[in-house]
Amino acid sequence: MMSILGFLLALVVGVFVAPILGGLITGLDRRITARIQSRLGPPILQPFYDVAKLLGKEKLLNNSWQAFCAYVYLVAAATSVVLFFMQSDLLLIFFVQAVGAVFLVIGAMSVPSPYSQIGAQRELIQVLTYEPLLVLVLAGIYVHTGTFKISGIYALEEPMLLKLPLLFLVLGYALTIKLRKSPFDISASAHAHQEIVRGVYTEFSGPYLAILEIAHFYEVILILGLVSLFWSTSFVGMLVLVALTYLAEILVDNVSSRMTWRWMVTSAWAVGLTLTLINLLSLTM
Amino acid sequence: MHSTLMFILIVLPFLAAIACAVVPVKQVRSAVVVVTGALLVVASLLLIGKVPFETSFTSMAGLPLASMTQLADFLLLGFVLFLGWKHKHLGIKILAGAQLVILFALEAFMMDHHAASMAFVADPLSLTLVLIISIVGSIICIHAIPYMDNHEHHLHLTISRQPRFFAWLVVLLGTMNALVLTNDLLAFYFFFELTTLCSYMLIGHDGTEEATNNSVRALYLGSMGGLALLLGAVFFQNMLGSLEIQEIIKLAPSAGYAMLPMALLCVAAFVKSAQAPFQSWLLGAMVAPTPTSALLHSSTMVKAGVYLVLRMAPGFVDTTLSTYVALFGAFTFLATALLAVSQSNAKRILAYSTVSNLGLIIACAGINTPAATAAALFLIIFHAVSKALLFLCVGTIEQRIESRDIEDMHGLFVRMPVTASLAVIGVLTMILPPFGMLMGKWMAIESAAANVPVIMMLALGSAITLLYWARWAGLLMSHPLQGGVTPEVQPKLTKYPLVALCGGAVLLSLLSPWIYSALIVPMIDMVNLANPQAMFEAPYVTSKGMLGADSGVFPVAPLFLVLIVGMFLGLRVLKNAQGAREASIYLAGAQSRTAQTPDSFVGPVNQPVKVANANYYLTRLLPEGKVTCWVNTAAVLLALLLVVGGL
Amino acid sequence: MQAILDFIKSSRIKSPWLMHFDCGSCNGCDIETLACLTPVYDVERFGIVNVGNPKHADILIVSGTVNHRNKKVLANLYEQMPHPKVVVAIGACGLSGGVFREAPNVVGGIDKVIPVDAYVPGCPPKPEAIIDGVVLGLQKFAEKSLA
Ligand code: SF4
């Protein structure tokens, strides 16, 4: 049973430290992206400036339900991160973050703007694509450790990556889709500006966009936390694995162009399911 | 006391049906339905404290029950035969004829009739079903009172056909209660057939050509299930010398070839639960008035199938049959979820999703571990409540907007704020934590995690489920920031059932740890009692409102705390948002600038054109006809594998 | 509380998201504007991001003359930007209608339709001049209150 102190620590770290860390990582991401494109790039703190500016802008809405949805997305993302730091059930954490994903879509769909609608539909397809892969990765972790609890992973003697290398690749594939990085920046893109004018985010502005940004910071932390579990035995190993994975994500983001959702679904499922099958069978044999 | 409760749960609905059928006064009929519903609710709640118990009656209220059912069985089959002749349907004629012969052979040559009594067993599993049937079923029947008035008004009927409708509706409640309580496989068969007849009558109620055709199809497929069930009974009688369900479960694991009749029973269950390849009758059933769909085809009658599998499951723990059942269920879960994606007809979405969820429950029954059994029971409970709510919402919406296409429900909140909100909550309780359906799914996935093919299908299926629900919930809520929303006026008997179901879905989710310790733990004890080889232990421990095990934890109460605090703040966010400046939608700057034409852009000749949006239905990727064809082929193969491979 | 407000205020200059609207320009000004966003000038250094949606934008950069057809679009886009917001008019056309100002279908400069905060002259102006104009606009942006 977790002590009260541990609970409070997880709460504080989850609610306050995580978004700051997530923002810094996002800032780093933009900086590295700029360097890859031989530019200087914005300061590391840029995401915080963006959020602060957005918070100080006028409230502009199509309906109040939108505001509610943005807010639920934030709460769900924060809750899932807190649960993560409390070393709770991985499957549950995943379902809690799905609440956020669903509400983002519902919020975008509540505005009859074609841009936001198309963004929402595409976002749903992205969710459809990465969800089964993530569930299967978690199932693989269960087969390996005998539990869905994160504490079970920390009890392992050797890093999970050695036993689940293919599932780690699947995780990477799914996370690229979750983070909407190229070639999967289909529902809302940070780079190709004009096409769907930022898809699901089109109708969110000012403080409400800021809420979505903060929720995204939480999600980045959750995702990297998930990655870190694959080298749970040493802190340095964890950092190295997370850094390498994220760098790979940024690199892929920069060298690939956007693909269609059809390609995304078929390729992700074909590759993901095959790799999962091989890895799961090799575990259970 | 037992006999009084049994009388209310089983016989009273039949008496009420007679009253509904013969008294042509609307007020009397409504009163009968409401009072019967209330009595059923009370009786089922009183039953909670009494389980488990066994009881048998030679007569009830002076009527010789057992011999009456035997006689009624032949009459029923004769009637089905007559229907087959009336509709010139060769299949029904053959199936009904075959059943008549087999039943006669069974009764005359194989059984001894010295104990002409009817045995009932009430255990936590049947109690759960009784509660669902009596409470959710009654709520649906009450909602039907104003619904059918509107329905007939809309059809311009001169002579009301409501007496007949309500009679069959309440008959179904009694039949279902009897079905889940009886301990005699032959009586089970009779009630099983009776539910088929009820669905035939209710689907064909409107008498249109489509309704008649679909009702005949339901009867045809239902008879197939009946035949499979009867054959299973014959085998059991021959092999084990008993038709007592509890006895069969005890004896089957050690008897040779007992898995063949088990497999036949499973096939019967698949038919009743409309699993692929038998799903077509349930899809067709959607032509019926919505209360029918809600009662028969989502929350109660189709549960008879999964009930049968769950009831028999202790009898085939750790067998190949069990593995195949799990595979079959998971396959249906995935396949029908895929089919639901291409649908824009709300009732068809609900129908496919029902089949899909029943598949998940059957998969759990096939996995056949305590955790999976718990998952199955949770899914049954929460699916019944949420799905009934959604069906009734669709019915209410349909009567207002005269369409059941979800594309016509864009911005429904403006016209029907209450019903639209309830529908959204209904959808959310189907797919998101901390609600019960999701918890059931969580348990299902955790207990299937080591079963590679099943977990793959569950993972894909649950993602697809999310897709078709979320896009529906999304389009309901669009409305202008200020004003424009017309308050909704509904008759009390329409509104209260909806609110009750919605409240029930949320409240029961909060209570799930307690439901677990009150219903599911005793049920697993019963399984051990029935099949001592199973040696099941309760899969989860509950403490402080959390469900926990070595494999995982689901903190129900803490999540609800987050939910409640979150909602409280969320309402403030909503209120706060009212102060925002109202924006028009982004249309690349081309939106028309008059307030009279919202959501429009300036089109040719400076005329405003309203934007039109529609969901992705992925019809090019997943055309319904083609997918159905593939799914049915695969399902037939799987079902054959199940019967043959189960040996 | 004051610290937060100050941070928000100082963040404004550091995070101007701009939207570029071509209001019937000859494309000369547009090419120069987009040049600012290339790696050569790399305005993302200053936190400037080119967005395609007025609802996300802080600064509206408009090039070209306003005519009777596109004046509604210009006004619409401006209206959909949340306050505080700044408009920078680019090029002779944006300032006054430029060489097209006598044409019968032309309304004139941007400020005939929406309030303009900074004017960047030239035909077309150099990217440095445009950046200069944006910086001027930014100062006004930081000072503006919510209303
Ligand atoms: S100012 Fe000169 S370059 Fe710019 S749009 Fe006008 S004519 Fe073209």
**Which regions of chain C are under pLDDT 50?**
147
- In this prediction, residue B100 carries a pLDDT of 86
Question: How far apart are the CA of B2 and the nearest CA of chain A, in angstroms?
Answer: 42
Which residue owns the Cα nearest ligand 1 atom 6? C93
Mean pLDDT for chain A overall: 88
Nearest CA in chain A to C14: A49
pLDDT higher than threshold 80 for residue B550: no
Two structure tokens written together for B225: 């299930």
d(CA B182, CA B248) in angstroms, rounded, equals 14
Which residue out of C22, C29, C90 has the highest number of ligand 1 atoms within 8 Å of its CB and is therefore the one to mutate? C29
A4, A81, A117: best to mutate for the B interface, most B CBs within 10 A: A117
The CA–CA distances, whole Å, from B202 to A55, A64, B140, B162, B403 equal 57, 42, 14, 11, 21
Which residue owns the Cα nearest ligand 1 atom 2? C123
Beta bridge partners of C61: C20, C88
All residues of chain B having their beta carbon less than 8 Å from the beta carbon of residue C80 are 583-584, 586, 589
| A224-262 pLDDT, tens digit each | 999 998 888 888 988 999 999 999 999 988 888 888 888
Beta bridge partners of B542: B547
For chain B, the farthest-separated pair of C-alpha atoms sits apart, in whole angstroms, at: 89
Assess: ipTM above 0.90: yes
- In this prediction, residue A193 carries a pLDDT of 52
pLDDT higher than threshold 80 for residue B131: yes
What H or E segment, with its residue span, contains residue B602? Answer: strand B600-602
Point out the residue among A52, A58, A198 whose CB comes nearest to the CB of C7.
A52
| Interface residue C68 vs chain B (CB under 8 A) | no
Question: How far apart are the CA of A40 and the nearest CA of chain C, in angstroms?
Answer: 6
Strands (E), A37-163: 60-61
Question: How far apart are the CA of B593 and the nearest CA of chain A, in angstroms?
Answer: 15
What H or E segment, with its residue span, contains residue C86? Answer: strand C86-90
* DSSP H stretches of helix in chain C: 2-14, 28-36, 71-80, 91-96, 127-143
Straight-line distance from the first to the last Cα atom of chain A, in angstroms, rounded to the nearest whole number: 34
Q: How many CB atoms lie within 10 A of CB A173?
A: 20
Task: Determine, yes or no, domain membership for B90.
Answer: no
d(CA B274, CA B335) in angstroms, rounded, equals 13
d(CA B485, CA B414) in angstroms, rounded, equals 4
Chain C segment 12-41 residues within 8 A of B by beta carbon are 21
All residues of chain C having their beta carbon less than 8 Å from the beta carbon of residue B581 are 82
SS3 annotation, A98-122:
HHHHHHHHHHHHCCCCHHHHHHHHH
Interchain proximity B593–C82, CB inside 8 Å? no
Pairing of strands C118-120, C86-90: parallel
Point out the residue among C5, C47, C146 whose CB comes nearest to the CB of A49.
C47
All residues of chain A having their beta carbon less than 8 Å from the beta carbon of residue B574 are 64-65, 67-68
Two structure tokens written together for A270: 């074909």
User: Residues with Cβ < 8 Å from B532, sequence gap 6 or more?
Assistant: none
Which of helix, strand or coil describes residue C83?
coil
What H or E segment, with its residue span, contains residue A142? Answer: helix A114-145
All residues of chain B having their beta carbon less than 8 Å from the beta carbon of residue C75 are 593
Q: Using a CB cutoff of 8 Å and minimum separation of 24, what contacts does B26-32 make?
A: B26/B160, B26/B162, B29/B162, B29/B163, B29/B166, B30/B145, B32/B166
Q: Measured from the CB, is residue C66 less than 6 Å from ligand 1?
A: no
Q: Binning pLDDT at 50, 70 and 90, where does residue A191 land?
A: low
Q: Give the domain range for residue B521.
A: 317-573+609-647
d(CA B220, CA B236) in angstroms, rounded, equals 25
User: Residues with Cβ < 8 Å from C2, sequence gap 6 or more?
Assistant: none
d(CA B436, CA C48) in angstroms, rounded, equals 47
Do residues C90 and C61 touch, judged by C-beta distance below 8 A? yes
- In this prediction, residue B371 carries a pLDDT of 86
How many domains does the structure of chain B reveal? 1
| C65-105 pLDDT, tens digit each | 998 888 889 999 999 999 888 999 999 998 988 888 888 88
Q: How many CB atoms lie within 10 A of CB B514?
A: 13
**CA atoms within a 13 Å half-sphere pointing along the CA-CB vector of C6:** 3
Task: Determine, yes or no, domain membership for B509.
Answer: yes
Q: Which of B630, B442, B200, C93 is nearest to A91 (CA)?
A: B442
Question: How far apart are the CA of C104 and the nearest CA of chain B, in angstroms?
Answer: 20
- In this prediction, residue A195 carries a pLDDT of 65
d(CA B211, CA A97) in angstroms, rounded, equals 43
Q: Measured from the CB, is residue C28 less than 6 Å from ligand 1?
A: yes
| Interface residue C144 vs chain A (CB under 8 A) | no
Q: Return the partners of chain C (3 or more C-beta pairs < 8 Å).
A: A, B
d(CA B228, CA B241) in angstroms, rounded, equals 19
Q: Measured from the CB, is residue C97 less than 6 Å from ligand 1?
A: no
Q: Measured from the CB, is residue C120 less than 6 Å from ligand 1?
A: no
Fold of C2-143: Rossmann fold (3.40.50)
- In this prediction, residue C43 carries a pLDDT of 82
Q: Which amino acid is at C36?
A: C
Q: Which of B16, B314, B63 is nearest to B167 (CA)?
A: B16
Q: Indicate which atom in ligand 1 lies nearest the CA of residue C64.
A: 5
Q: How many CB atoms lie within 10 A of CB B150?
A: 17
What mean pLDDT comes out for the span B165-182? 89
Point out the residue among A46, A201, A202 whose CB comes nearest to the CB of C15.
A46
What mean pLDDT comes out for the span B76-84? 88
What mean pLDDT comes out for the span A58-78? 90
Q: Binning pLDDT at 50, 70 and 90, where does residue B84 land?
A: confident
Q: Measured from the CB, is residue C63 less than 6 Å from ligand 1?
A: yes
pLDDT higher than threshold 50 for residue A1: no
Nearest CA in chain C to B591: C76
Point out the residue among B583, B590, B602 whose CB comes nearest to the CB of C55.
B583
What mean pLDDT comes out for the span B189-209? 88
Total residue count of chain B as it appears in this document: 647
Q: Binning pLDDT at 50, 70 and 90, where does residue B75 land?
A: confident
User: Residues with Cβ < 8 Å from B142, sequence gap 6 or more?
Assistant: B33, B34, B37, B493, B496, B497
Peptide bond into B146 cis (omega under 30): no
Residue B57 has phi, psi (to 5 degrees) of -120, 135
Q: Which of B431, B444, B449 is nearest to B363 (CA)?
A: B444
What is the CA(C27)–ligand 1 centre distance, in A? Answer: 7
SS3 annotation, B75-98:
HHHHHHHHHHHHCCCHHHHHHHHH
What mean pLDDT comes out for the span B359-387? 90
Two structure tokens written together for C140: 């006004």
Beta bridge partners of B120: B55, B182
Strands (E), B45-171: 53-57, 59-60, 63-64, 118-122
Q: How many CB atoms lie within 10 A of CB B101?
A: 11
d(CA B439, CA B430) in angstroms, rounded, equals 10
d(CA A136, CA B318) in angstroms, rounded, equals 24
Interchain proximity A95–B442, CB inside 8 Å? yes
Q: Measured from the CB, is residue C125 less than 6 Å from ligand 1?
A: no
B584, B591, B592, B599: best to mutate for the C interface, most C CBs within 10 A: B591
Q: Which amino acid is at B361?
A: I
Interchain proximity C146–A58, CB inside 8 Å? yes
Give the lowest-confidence range in A208-212, A272-276, B1-5.
Answer: B1-5
What mean pLDDT comes out for the span B409-425? 88
Q: Measured from the CB, is residue C33 less than 6 Å from ligand 1?
A: no
Beta bridge partners of C87: C60
User: Hey, CA dihedral for B496, B477, B288, B431, is it positive or negative?
Assistant: negative
Two structure tokens written together for B166: 């309500």
pLDDT higher than threshold 70 for residue B114: no
Q: A92-124 as b/e, with b when 16 or more CB fall inside 10 Å?
A: bbbbbbbbbbbbbbbbbbbbbbbbbbbbbbbbb
Point out the residue among A48, A60, A197 whose CB comes nearest to the CB of C82.
A60
Task: Determine, yes or no, domain membership for B277.
Answer: no
A vs C, Cβ pairs < 8 A, gives 84
Which residue out of C22, C62, C90, C93 has the highest number of ligand 1 atoms within 8 Å of its CB and is therefore the one to mutate? C93
Interchain proximity C53–B591, CB inside 8 Å? no
The CA–CA distances, whole Å, from B50 to B54, B220, B584 equal 10, 39, 61
- In this prediction, residue B283 carries a pLDDT of 87
Do residues B459 and A139 touch, judged by C-beta distance below 8 A? yes
Task: Determine, yes or no, domain membership for B125.
Answer: no
| Interface residue A53 vs chain C (CB under 8 A) | yes
User: Hey, CA dihedral for A146, A147, A148, A152, is it positive or negative?
Assistant: negative
pLDDT higher than threshold 60 for residue B376: yes
d(CA A269, CA A135) in angstroms, rounded, equals 13
d(CA C117, CA B409) in angstroms, rounded, equals 44
